[in-house]
Amino acid sequence: MENSQPGPAVSGAIVTTNHVRRLAVAAYLARFKGQSRVHTESDLRSYLTWCESHGLDPLAPPDRISSSISAGFRR
């Protein structure tokens, strides 16, 4: 049974309404513990917010245009 209600991806820190994205975030963060997890979660939250503000899907395959745009984020 799929839960279609929006909710926190992990520990309420990263909130997304997309079920697949929520699972991807949870799976990615599960690899980290302690301060590494805290910092990774913060970086991921910033990146997801940036993608949303630029109308980009962070899970979509990269193309040349979005790759050059996200390169600006990493600088």
In a domain? residue 31: yes
In a domain? residue 16: yes
Where does 1-75 show beta strands of DSSP type E? 7-10, 14-16
- Helices 34-53 & 19-29 angle (0-180, nearest 10): 150
**pLDDT of 19 over the 70 cut:** yes
**pLDDT of 3 over the 50 cut:** no
C-alpha closest to that of 10 among 30, 23, 26? 26
Segments forming the whole domain that contains residue 45: 7-74
Q: How many domains does the chain have?
A: 1
Assign 16 a pLDDT band (cuts: 50, 70, 90). low
- Tell me if the pTM is above 0.85: no
Average pLDDT, the chain: 75
Q: Mean pLDDT across the stretch 65-72?
A: 62
In a domain? residue 68: yes
